[in-house]
Structure 1
Amino acid sequence: MTATPYTVADVMTTRVVAVTPATGFRDVVAAMERWKVTALPVVEGEGRVVGVVSEADLLPKEEFHEHRPGLIEQMRRLGDTAKAGSTSAEDLMTSPAVTIRPDATLPRAARLMAERRVKRLPVVDADGTLRGIVSRADLLKVFLRSDEDLTAEIRRDVVERVFPLSHEAVEVTVSHGIATLAGRVQDPALIPLAERLARAVEGVVDVRCRLEAPSAP
């Protein structure tokens, strides 16, 4: 009933810095420093994502720089000790990469980041080719939509559709992302639906529903 939800394609960064499996350790560090990022997609061929190398993948080299891990520590932290001796992105990266499609919704991207405990996701097409990258900050961009934009969408896609006969009696205001619905409508059963749909509009922080219906005779 509401407008098409925002997708990853709407907020992702399309200019992405990536490295190849053969990229050396120091070049990976230099790229992170130059572009002020904490992780880089690793691509091969025509841009197919094969992994992600992050600061966490690089830190074991510094951690074990001054001491050689004992046998027990090596067994307990096989992945980290292996990365400590690695010199290229191919051996440092986490693979397979956790990726997402451009048409995925923002809640889906947020859930995936939370579940996999990552701060950003490479965005790939059906062939696994890199199309962009989406970060936690990108997902928050929808909350920068203007109050006027949110007001117009709620009135058009929620109020006018849920209350076709009494929508003119409904006042919609949005302040700092908080939407307020006020007025009298004919069908009280539709009030919870209107509140739920308004809350689902991308960029809405909260909804205060003050809709009323005529009392039963």
Structure 2
Amino acid sequence: MVIAAILKTKGNRVISLGPDQTVLDAARLLAEHRIGAALVRGPGGELLGILSERDIVGGMAAHGPGTTGLQATQFMTRDLVTIRPETLVTEALSLMTTRRVRHLPVLDAGGGLVGMISIGDLVKARIEAAEQEAEELKHYVVSAG
């Protein structure tokens, strides 16, 4: 299965922050949408980074009290790990494991953003594929007997 198949059912809506928004704005946005990360995008829509719950906790631990008023760009991860729609789910899972990330922006061949997937999206896809395969095997065994 490829990432494009996940995006087809999940959709390609991506929650983003502006570079001038605060850590508190980011935390509220993540809580409101019940997500673990949001992309940080410039005024022209360009990707500047990603801000995750892990980034916020790490930033707060490093900077102490008063961090909620700092800009999200101070805590975001700038080195984005991205994938393409044709990336296999197994490849994406491996990339997440080796790079220790839980969210991957999906970019087209021209570098345009087409969606974002989480570890939860990938696990769900793998479980659904395993269940479908088990059902097909069950059907095969019943029809062969």
Matched to 2:127, the amino acid is F
Q: Secondary structure at the match of 1:112?
A: helix
The alpha carbon displacement at 1:35 in A equals: 0.7
The alpha carbon displacement at 1:92 in A equals: 1.6
Partner of 1:33: 31
Partner of 1:65: 64
1:174 pairs with one of 113, 138, 141: 138
Partner of 2:54: 56
Partner of 1:7: 2
The alpha carbon displacement at 1:90 in A equals: 2.0
Partner of 1:139: 122
Q: Deviations over 1:74-123 (max 9, x none)?
A: xxxxxxxxxx6981122221112111111111111011100101112111
Matched to 2:55, the amino acid is D
- In the superposition, the TM-score normalised over structure 2's length comes to 0.77
Distance, in Å, in 2 between the alignment partners of 1:30 and 1:94 is 18
Partner of 1:108: 91
Question: Does the CA-based 8 Å contact 1:49-1:129 persist in structure 2?
Answer: no
Partner of 2:80: 97
Q: Deviations over 1:150-175 (max 9, x none)?
A: 63xxxxxxxxxxxxxxxxxxxxx337
Bigger Cα Rg: 1
Q: What does 1:124-135 correspond to in 2, within 5 Å?
A: 124-135=107-118
Across the two proteins, how many residue pairs are aligned to each other? 135
> Per the alignment, do residues 148 and 104 of structure 1 end up closer, same or farther by CA in structure 2, a change over 3 Å counting?
closer
The alpha carbon displacement at 1:149 in A equals: 8.9
Distance, in Å, in 1 between the alignment partners of 2:33 and 2:126 is 24
Higher relative contact order (CA 8 A, sep 6+): 2
Distance, in Å, in 1 between the alignment partners of 2:103 and 2:46 is 17
Partner of 1:206: none
- In the superposition, the TM-score normalised over structure 1's length comes to 0.54
Q: Secondary structure at the match of 1:174?
A: helix
Gaps of 5+ in 1: 1-5, 67-83, 152-172, 184-217
Distance, in Å, in 2 between the alignment partners of 1:139 and 1:60 is 25
Matched to 1:111, the amino acid is S
Matched to 2:40, the amino acid is V
